[in-house]
A and B are shown apart, each in its own frame.
Chain A
Amino acid sequence: MSLAGKLLTCLLFICMPLQVLGWDWQTKVSVSVKDQPIRAVVELLEKNYGIRFSYSRDLVNLSRKITLTVHQQRLKTLLEDLFGPDRIRYTRVGDLIVLQPPSQATRTISGYVQDGITGEKLPGATIWSPSLQQGTVTNQFGFFSFTTTADTSAVIISYIGYQPKWQQLSSQNKFLSVSLESTTNLEEVVVSAAESHKLQNQTQMSKVNINSADVRSQPKLLGEADLLRTLQAIPGVSGGMDGISGIHVRGGSPDQNLILLDGSPIFNFSHFFGVFSLLNADLVKSTDLYKGAFPARFGGRLSSVIDITLKDGDMKQFHGDVSIGLIAAKFDLEGPIIKDKTSFIVSARRSYPDLLYNTVVSLKDGNNNSSLLAYFYDVNLKVNHIFSPKDRIFFSYYKGEDKLSVQESEDKSAVVDTTRLNTEFNRFQMGWGNVVTALRWNHIYGPKLFSNLTANYSQYAFNTEVGYKYALPGSNEMGDQYGRYYSRMETGGLKLDFDYRPEPTHSMRFGAAVNTHYFRPSVSTFVDKGSNVTPLDTAANGPKNTAVELLLYAEDDWQLLPSLYANIGLHASAFMVSGRLYHSLQPRMGLRYMLPNNWAVKAAYTHMNQYIHLLSNNGTALPTDIWVPSTDKVGPMTSRQVALGIGKTSNKQAWEFSLEGYYKTMHNMIEYTEPTGLLTADVLRWDRNVSIGKGWSYGGELMITRKKGKLTGWLGYTLAWSTRQFPDINNGHIFPYKYDHRHDIELLLNYAITKNWEFSAAWRFTSGSPLTLPVASYEGVETGSPWDPSPNGNTPVDKYSSRYNYRMENSHRLDVGLTWFKQKKTWSRSWNFSVFNVYNQQNPFYYFVKRDDVEKQRYLAKLVILPLLPSITYSVKF
């Protein structure tokens, strides 16, 4: 194309709004010419139908003479007949049809997209050729490879929250390092997206991207912005009791979520029993949630993938952030170690109410013999170094823990009763947490091939310790006892991933991994220093297992026809444990077909396998739950999911609309036949105490998102069913499972009032979950004869019939937040005022049958938590 042609194309593209005008590809046209050049048909179309063409007469030859008569024919068909023989390419840009000469050769450009100020690499940024209507996106490391026609003169590079960049390409351009300027400010939350960010241009369905601004702009609970709660506001995702305690995706259990922190799996994603995420939200660069249509590169869990990418650290200058809220204080610091070569980011967070409590108690009592420590903390460190334009390494480390410690010592000033046991020292400690560390190496082999090698280690541990010293002075009886109970799950492995972009119509990924899993659940030890008696061994330690998992995958994002796209993949895995080998081939397929008016219809089929089970015997996921591998009695869980949906992003990219339906079957689901208590005592034989069954989840999800302007946010609606069937439960009948919420509505709004003020609101509605209540009471018995002693009497017994025979009440809640922000020359500060549960809705957390001996009644009672909770947070950024 000549320079004039390029300029004309560019000018027209920039100036013309991308909106639907008076015609589309389906418009019926009638034309009749006899022995005329093609140009004559073009002119007739312009004159009679207002369809304007743009082309360079030097490059596009329209002189071939034709004889043509069509009546009420589709415009698209006519153009195919008209230009096809000469291989003239035509593309719609706005209300123009741009004509281009036949493609002669291709070229590949590759490179990184990064933040212009910090150098932070941007995953998911779009590289788009408007003339070809083709593009690609950067991978998790900000790398892209785009094979296009040799005459491509420019591409647009864009990323959410950044100013799109028009990048001219010269013949020398093969490797690009593109810097984008952030546009996010409080006056207007500008969220820009280029063509391939439009829903209709992505074959991937059932995926939602959450950027850090989405998380930070939400109303805060006790002063903490939180990724977990933002995820729970996505259609198809729900929380546990009163919106806390875990994530359930499309009727799946919390253990069926593959949560990846920079590519490393995490086994427990929350602090404080599910109230807060395990991660400081300020560190998160981007989060992708997959509810279905899983790409072949993911595996090992049934219901979702939550792929969290953390910030890498500023390559150019130092930055920091300090904030203090009602429950926790935190800081982060990032900056270059060697400018433009090596950077770091470090952060720490700790909750502090226990410190206040101890201070208050100490001040009040003066002589305090007891202490309480109850807190969570997490620390993050990430270092990355650029060896060369083709090589880069990342080291990351995360440790987070919840701790509870109660310690009491004897008050020596008190008079000791020598006839009773006297406690000298009593200590109880409980803690659980994750350690995740990874070393990754990015290497670019050439413009079309990128690789990432990851070595990672992840551990989840729950630990309880007791120390007890006592004396019975009257008889010199003494004890000095120490006991410990712990469970640990570890995973370490190597993974090699490749990105290969051979041509515009193919985008391939393939790779392999080997992981070793180490299970050490439910280990109990006890010593009594004051005794030499061999204890009666009533402890059943859990099975110690080591398992090896191998996986291979390949996937291709493939343009089959001009309007038909496919993502085809295969995930193969093998799992070896205790001399047994499990293996599976998991096909993955996604299809996209472009409809008129830029609507895309999408379909997907996925098969997933999960080799590990979480033993949970409670109404909600708890830190005490333990992971175990499949056994010969309980095989791996499997699921098959089909999804069908339509999606569209409006031409001005202000609105996004998606509607999806799904149907998922799950096999080898486990459920305890009878409760066994909080700590599973008989872990050795756990597989004999569970029933193995099936599950079904199906429903529809609607999401309407406002992405641009002063007012942003989304409205989500979910209609869902989740049922299960176990031979030993409910007489083998199918029953609604505890994650069966029929209706979920989420409305999240964020409004930039002025340059300094921002308002946010979130309203959620969830219909009641299934609940098990008794259906009768009757007299019990304790002894063989009424003459025998019966300290409890004949205690009444409650009869339970079917599981989940009732439903809880519907829950709804409004949270609001107001942020004031002030930007100074080198630093900024902000105050956030949030109110959680504004109208103090008394949502049920848990139900139980209460025996009220004062009122002499038995009735159903509900425990209500999370009432109206105002909070305030102060932050300083520099």
Chain B
Amino acid sequence: MKKLHIFIYTLTLLLIAGCERKVDITFSYEGNKLVVNSLIQADSSIYVRVTKSVPVNVYDESAFRELDNVAVKIQDDSGNNIPVSCQQIFGKNYFVSSQKATTGKRYTISASAAGLSPVSGTDTLPAPPQIFGAAAQRTFSRITFGLKDYPMAENYYRIRLFKSDSNGTIQSGLLFRLDPAFNNNVVDIISASPANSLIMNDKRFDGRELTFVLQAQDPLTPTSYLMVEVTTLTYDAYQYLKSVAAQQQNVGDIVSEPVRVYSNILDGYGIVAGINVKRLVFKVD
């Protein structure tokens, strides 16, 4: 999208010599609020991260620090409380459930901390994606895989592409886009630059079995392994991930209105939403 915006304003700015100035303003701040983030993966422990919001002008991301004396509760739709423990992973504190999340159940995550309003969020888990037949040829840039969409329901997907080893250990993410030749959407061609994820709904292919063709930004190297990751998303997860991506794209965009990121947390910020990931690892032939 930005590509088109740039085209639109290039001439204007070239001729009229626009410039940027810092504005001395005090951002208003809604006050400290609890932030709960958890994308609940089926057949996996539930990881919950609880942090605190900061004013807009705070630059340092480490400001999103964990709070002391936070209480986190996970409850399923039968009213059972699932035990959680606080663990430090990669230097960050996570509340991890002792049980794995199960497809078909609804989970509610609540958090509270001294001096802040208690918060909660709830969601279900989606069915796993039905994907198959991933393949790619060396020196080509195209990757194909099949997807069978669940009929009679609104489904949401996220697609990501990684370089990996034969065991599926990820080495790095790859930039890609839907190959325009297999996409038929000129809007995407004009506007979509390669990205590390593609988030979509099934409105254009509801219930169909189809072949996706991705175009990697760079040609694929021989003897390497790739991994296609397809994640089914609940409506809340789809809205959240889509709006986060849109907000990131929108930064500094001079013609668009700001994008609001979706949240289903009551009295706080963040997201509690279900996802279901499936990965296909394959060798570049």
Evaluate contact between B89 and A419: CB separation under 8 angstroms.
Answer: no
B190-211 contacts to A, CB under 8 A, are 190-191, 196, 200, 203-205, 210-211
CA of A795 to CA of B248 in the docked complex: distance in angstroms? 9
CA of A746 to CA of B39 in the docked complex: distance in angstroms? 55
Query: Known contacts being A620-B255, A772-B258, is A858 close to B57, with CB within 8 Å?
Result: yes
Evaluate contact between B17 and A846: CB separation under 8 angstroms.
Answer: no
Query: Known contacts being A479-B181, A777-B54, A777-B58, is A539 close to B186, with CB within 8 Å?
Result: yes
Contacts of B152 in A (CB 8 A): none
Q: Which of A25-33, A138-146, A711-719, A862-870 contacts B (4 or more CB under 8 A)?
A: A862-870
* Chain B 213-250 per-residue mask, 1 if CB under 8 angstroms from chain A, else 0: 10000110000000000000000000001011011101
B31: min CB distance to chain A, Å: 8
Evaluate contact between B56 and A798: CB separation under 8 angstroms.
Answer: yes
Evaluate contact between A781 and B29: CB separation under 8 angstroms.
Answer: no
Evaluate contact between A679 and B191: CB separation under 8 angstroms.
Answer: yes
Residue B68, interface by CB 8 Å: no
Evaluate contact between A794 and B255: CB separation under 8 angstroms.
Answer: no
- Of B27, B94, B173, which one neighbours A775 at CB under 8 angstroms? B27
Residue of A nearest to B31 (CB): A776
Evaluate contact between B205 and A786: CB separation under 8 angstroms.
Answer: no
Residue B115, interface by CB 8 Å: no
Contacts of A327 in B (CB 8 A): 15
Evaluate contact between B219 and A472: CB separation under 8 angstroms.
Answer: yes
B186: min CB distance to chain A, Å: 3
Residue of B nearest to A786 (CB): B89
* Chain A 790-820 per-residue mask, 1 if CB under 8 angstroms from chain B, else 0: 0110111111110001100100000000000
CA of A406 to CA of B15 in the docked complex: distance in angstroms? 17
CA of A780 to CA of B162 in the docked complex: distance in angstroms? 21
- B28, B181, B210, B243 — which one has the most chain A CB atoms within 10 A of its CB? B181
- Of A466, A789, A860, which one neighbours B162 at CB under 8 angstroms? A789
Residue B134, interface by CB 8 Å: no
Contacts of B22 in A (CB 8 A): 850, 859-861
Contacts of A859 in B (CB 8 A): 22-23, 57
B1: min CB distance to chain A, Å: 5
- Of B45, B49, B254, which one neighbours A781 at CB under 8 angstroms? B49
CA of A483 to CA of B181 in the docked complex: distance in angstroms? 10
Interface residues on B, range: 35 or more
Residue A19, interface by CB 8 Å: no
Evaluate contact between A617 and B178: CB separation under 8 angstroms.
Answer: no
CA of A45 to CA of B21 in the docked complex: distance in angstroms? 73
- Of B5, B210, B259, which one neighbours A674 at CB under 8 angstroms? B259
* Chain B 158-191 per-residue mask, 1 if CB under 8 angstroms from chain A, else 0: 0010100000001011000010111111111111
Contacts of B67 in A (CB 8 A): none
CA of A474 to CA of B140 in the docked complex: distance in angstroms? 8
Evaluate contact between B56 and A773: CB separation under 8 angstroms.
Answer: yes
Known contacts A792-B196, A806-B25; 20 further A-B pairs (Cβ under 8 A): A475-B137, A481-B180, A524-B185, A526-B181, A536-B213, A539-B183, A678-B255, A678-B256, A774-B258, A779-B37, A784-B47, A787-B89, A788-B277, A798-B261, A801-B30, A849-B56, A851-B251, A858-B56, A863-B18, A867-B16
Which B residues lie at the A interface, using CB under 8 A?
A: 1, 4-5, 7-13, 15-23, 25, 27-30, 33, 35, 37-41, 44-45, 47, 49, 51-61, 64, 89-90, 92, 94, 137-142, 160, 162, 170, 172-173, 178, 180-191, 196, 200, 203-205, 210-213, 218-219, 241, 243-244, 246-248, 250-261, 269-271, 275, 277
Which A residues lie at the B interface, using CB under 8 A?
A: 222, 272-273, 275, 327, 353, 374, 404, 406, 419-421, 428, 430, 464, 466, 468, 472, 474-475, 477, 479, 481, 483-485, 524-526, 528, 530-531, 533, 535-540, 617-620, 622, 672, 674-675, 677-679, 681-682, 772-789, 791-792, 794-801, 805-806, 809, 842, 844-852, 856-867, 869
The 3 A-B residue pairs with the shortest CB-CB distance in the complex, in nearest-first order: A784-B41, A483-B186, A535-B184
Q: Can you show 20 pairs from A to B with CB atoms below 8 A apart?
A: A275-B12, A327-B15, A474-B219, A475-B138, A485-B187, A539-B187, A618-B257, A622-B8, A682-B203, A777-B56, A779-B270, A789-B173, A796-B61, A797-B244, A797-B269, A799-B269, A845-B18, A850-B22, A864-B19, A865-B17
